[in-house]
Each structure stands twice: as structure tokens, then as C-alpha cells.
Amino acid sequence: MKLKLLSAVIGTALTMGVAGASAATLDDVKARGTLKCGVSQGLIGFSNPDEQNNWTGLDVDFCRAVAAAIFGDGKKVEFVPLDATQRFEALKSGEVDVLSRNTTWTMSRDTTGGMTFAGVTYYDGQGFMVKKSLGVDSALKLNGASVCTQTGTTTELNLADYFRANNMTYQVVAFQKNEEVLAAYNEGRCDVYTTDQSGLYAERLKLPDVENHVVLPEIISKEPLGPVVRQNDTQWFNLVRWTYYALLTAEELGVTQANSAEQLASSTNPEVARLLGKEGDFGKGLGVENDWVMKILAATGNYGEIFDRNVGEATKLGIKRGVNSLWKSGGLQYAPPIR
């Protein structure tokens, strides 16, 4: 009886706590004056601190964009570095307002966990890296290759499916730890190294001879990474989601960090006028100022600029846009119209 009573009290406290944290996040954030954004504890190109104590990376810049939409200032973010095991609890308990931490969008996470994914800021998936000297330019030419991978992950299963579906044979060389896989690949114990593509680019930088290795264009699995918010707060969900769409739309319309002011003043394109807040009350509908996109662009630039600055071909990672191109260029990044 006592136990039942105790568990009932704890249960009520839990639900009250969760309810307290999820109601009107936007008002809480505005009252607090900073956005609390959960990021990774150090992931090349996505979130890491630089020497001047600034956080940098694609996930980090998305947080800045959200903060800029709310406050007009991309600096009003408190970055909370989160471990993979505690990230969802941190979001649900209200320790962070938005989780932008290379989290894969899956059905179970979306439907059962009390969370909602707001978009896909980076389409990742399993890829292959080979030595340039092999002369291979497509994963379909890997028949008979030996492949280094980590044991006990879905990576191994995806690999088996892909090779069987394409009628190719392969030999798997599996290891317990990521470092061992890389070392084995470096020592030439296998021809191919497979893991998530963004991971391949990052691991490549740890090889002594970066320029002699190439990441093949094929992606054989779906790992859509995106920001997550708490369920049951539609206003907040909309704000995060449309921040992402605004970044895409700005790139599509050619509005950049540098030319946004000029575009606002001189563009005759009605789509640009709506995006930048010259026409309509689109910002008001989200609960922020109408010039929200101007503020976002001033803080981070559009999606393409964020991508290029943090992971793109000009950076040391050198990731190609590939499936992360806009839909117009044959990629998957697509935003509904702002109208």
C-alpha cells in the first residue's frame, strides 16, 4: 500500500515535471533570454569548441539560427554538450530546449519517446572509403573486396544486404572498436572501410595520408540527422522546423549572409519579399519578429553557407553536397513554400 502510494506520488511528480517543461517553450526561452541547445560533446564538423572558446559546426550553427530567429542575436545560445545516452532525457526534462546533436530520425524515436523531429539538417547514411590506388569510383565495383567494419552494428547487416542485392561477394574483417577498424584499414588488412559517410570523412582525417583515400558516392542506408524538440508544443516545433525551412529557402532564392540587406531593399521577387519579411506576417505567426529570416541570415547565412563553412569541400573534411543538395540540384533538401 505504502509502495503504491509512493509510486503514485513519484509518477505524478514525473508527469507534472514533464508537463511543466513542455508547455510554451518559446515563452520560457524568451523569459530566460537564452536558448539552451543540446549538442554533441565533440564531433568533427558538427559540434566542437575552437581555440577561442566558440562552438563551431553544422549542428551548432543550427542552434544559432534558432536563437537568431527568436532574439535577433545568434549569440544568445547556451550550448549543453550531451552524451548519446542522456540526450533524450535532457530534452524531455527541459534541460535543453532543442536537441541538435546528430540524432537519427527513426519511427520509434518519433512516436514513442515524447519527442518530435523537426527536419533533416543532414542526410547521412552508410558509405565506403577506399584507397585511391585501387582505382574504384563506385561501390558497385567492389566485388570480391575485403571490408573493414565494426562488429555488432547495423553497419554489418546493411553491408551484407547491399552486397547480396547486387550479386557481389565480399570478405568482412570486423573489429570491436572504431580505432581498431581504422588501424586495420590503414595497415592494408582490407580494401574498404565502411561506416556512416560523415564518419568516413572524419576518420579519413586521422589517416597519415588523407589525399590517398576517397569516399565513394554511394550511400546504402538511411541515417537522416536532424533537430529534435519535445512533443506537444506545436508553437515551438513550428519555430524550429521553419527556421530550418527558412535556411533552405534562402539558399534556393540565392539570399546569403552578404547580400540579404541588398536583396531586402532591391529584390522584386515576391518570394524574397515574403521570406525577408517585407510582405506578410509570417514571423508573427511563429511568435517572433517579421524580420526573423534577416536575423537568421545575419547570424549564420543560409543552409548552403552553413554546410560549406563547417563540412563542405572547402573545409578539411571536404564532404560533397551529394544528397544534401537542394532538390533543384538533384538532392533531398526541400522546403515547403513560404506563402
Contact letters (x/-) for other proteins, 165-184, by CB under 8 A? Answer: --------------------
Comparing C-alpha atoms, which of 104, 44, 66, 108 is closest to residue 316?
A: 44
Alpha carbon 50 to chain centroid, angstroms: 19
Which listed residue (6, 14, 24, 160) binds other proteins by CB under 8 A?
A: 14
Helix (H) or strand (E) run with residue 192 in it? strand 192-196
- Residue located via cell numbers 526573423: 292
Span 84-113, contacts to other proteins by CB under 8 A: 85-86, 89-90, 93-95
Nearer to other proteins, 21 or 214 (CB): 21
Residues contacting 251, CB < 8 A, separation 6+:
302, 303, 304, 305, 326
Which listed residue (2, 51, 187, 268) binds other proteins by CB under 8 A?
A: 51
Cβ burial, residue 257 (10 Å; 0-12/13-18/19+): middle
87's grid cell: 540526450
Q: Is the dihedral of CA 310, 314, 319, 324 positive or negative?
A: positive
Nearer to other proteins, 228 or 293 (CB): 228
Give the shortest CB-110-to-other proteins separation in angstroms: 21
Nearer to other proteins, 15 or 259 (CB): 15
- How far is it, in rounded angstroms, from Cα 304 to Cα 247? 8
Among the listed ranges 147-155, 156-164, 198-206, 214-222, the one in contact with other proteins (CB under 8 A) is 198-206
Give the shortest CB-13-to-other proteins separation in angstroms: 5
Which listed residue (82, 115, 130, 288) binds other proteins by CB under 8 A?
A: 82
Note the residues at the interface with other proteins (CB under 8 A): 13-14, 17-18, 20-21, 41-45, 48-51, 53, 56, 78, 80-83, 85-86, 89-90, 93-95, 202, 205-208, 210, 315-317
